[in-house]
Amino acid sequence: MLRLRSCVLTHLLSSPSASPIPSSLHRLISAAAPAVSSNPGFAVEDYLVATCGLTRAQALKASTKLSHVKSPSKPDAVLAFLAGLGISSADVADLVARDPLLLCTSVDKTLDPNVVDLTGLGFSVSEIARLVSIGRAGFRRRSIVSKLHYYLPLFVSIQNLLRALKFNDNILKYGLERSQRATKLNLAVLRECGLGDCDIAKVCIAVPWMLTANVEHVRATVASADGVGVRRESRMFRHALHAAACLGKEKIAAKVEFMKKTFRWSDAEVGIAVSKLPSVLLRSTEALQSRSEFLISELGLEPAYIAHRPAMLSYNLERRLRPRYYVVKFLKENELLERERDYYSTVTISDKVFMDKFIHPHKEAAPHLAEDYATVCSGEVPARFLFA
């Protein structure tokens, strides 16, 4: 019986076209299990390997939390439920390994009602499946519905909420009263900074822990953001807050010193760059170093020029900064440009506009330019771009 049930469930979980399984099928599968509450031939560890797809090591660890399970009827129903949501066998194995107690959850009393209520909140089946994977233990509690009902307006959309939960599932771990208390205090701090609801939502999507963290931690993060030099009324303040939340005061100070040395900036110039683009603080030292070598050493741009245009540091070096420089230089070398072009203006325009202004007009004079541009964007330098 165990082998037969294992084959049926394995087929359900591995089917690429699995569609939502109605609760009637959940009941059918449950009914197919032995009526007695104990099955002498049932071994949890073997079940986890044969039916759930866990490795022997994972099953050994998970089985310690399932020693009270004496029959496969409830785990079978849970696996059928997960298959009905379209969750793959590999994801089910990962889910069970991380939260074995999910297999003990009642489908009729908890899982199915959660799906019904979340559908009422606007969740699609695929979004609910993603929530199950993200929320893990949170989904096996009925309280998840009231929590998501409370937090959904803060994040504006279900996709934003799911993105935030991926990086911080404490919203689902804590009780609603505790979560609401922390959230209200932290929202008040953020509003004191002059952030509107839209900006707060964006901050919490990027740094979701700010909703449930201790309010003193949030205040310390705001103080670090103030130290970056961005005025609170500036639209860049939420970006400064994001950087402060990710780095902290000491790492920000270290990154500022690194940029001063790398780009040969004065205190005033690094202040200008950071105030215009606080997210530059989140760039890796390697990325900043390579851009300094290209922009200053190779192109010969002045440090002050870069400080006033820090957006250049956010663009991809190999697929944007370098290829566009090569195209403009090629056009200048071949006297195909009508006037001098500012490098920054060539970098910031969209790909379509760049093609329309710098590639397409020269099809006859430089028929291979589009091909060479595509080549250099892929990481190779064509012979026509090897300037003496």
* DSSP assignment string, 265-322: --HHHHHHHHHH-GGGGGS-HHHHHHHHIIIIIIT---HHHHHT-GGGGGS-IIIIIH
Residue spans of alpha helices (H) in 85-196:
89-98, 112-120, 125-135, 143-155, 158-167, 170-173, 176-192
Report the C-alpha gap between 265 and 262 in whole angstroms: 8
Question: What Å distances lie between residue 118 and 82, 125, 362, CA to CA?
Answer: 15, 9, 56
Query: Considering Cα of 380, then 381, then 383, then 385, what sign does the dihedral take?
Result: positive
How does pLDDT run across 258-280, given as a tens digit for each residue? 999 999 999 999 999 999 999 99
Of 157, 237, 229, give the one whose Cα is nearest residue 192. 237
Residue with tokens 């929590």: 147
Among the ranges given (135-149, 238-252, 304-318), the one the predictor scored with the smallest mean pLDDT? 135-149
What does 231-266 look like in DSSP terms, one character per residue? Answer: -TTSTTHHHHHHHHHHH-HHHHHHHHHHHHHHHT--
CB atoms within 10 A of CB 348: 16
Report the C-alpha gap between 105 and 117 in whole angstroms: 17
Report the C-alpha gap between 283 and 251 in whole angstroms: 12
- Give the HSE-up count for residue 107: Cα atoms under 13 Å, Cβ half-sphere: 25
Backbone angles phi, psi at 323, to 5 degrees: -60, -40
Contact present, 142 and 110 (Cβ < 8 Å): yes
How does pLDDT run across 46-64, given as a tens digit for each residue? 999 999 999 999 999 999 9
Ranges of each domain in the chain:
2-105, 142-247, 249-314, 317-385
How does pLDDT run across 154-193, given as a tens digit for each residue? 888 999 899 888 887 777 776 777 778 888 999 999 999 9
Residue 220, token pair as written in the block: 């310390």
CB atoms within 10 A of CB 313: 21
Question: Which band of pLDDT confidence, cut at 50, 70 and 90, is reported for residue 205?
Answer: confident
Quick check: 86 pLDDT over 60? yes
Quick check: 194 pLDDT over 50? yes
Residue 8: the pLDDT is 43
Report the C-alpha gap between 212 and 182 in whole angstroms: 5
Report the C-alpha gap between 28 and 1 in whole angstroms: 15
Predicted model pTM? 0.70
Report the C-alpha gap between 123 and 71 in whole angstroms: 33
Contact present, 77 and 9 (Cβ < 8 Å): no
Question: Which band of pLDDT confidence, cut at 50, 70 and 90, is reported for residue 356?
Answer: very high
Contact present, 47 and 75 (Cβ < 8 Å): yes
Residue type, 9: L
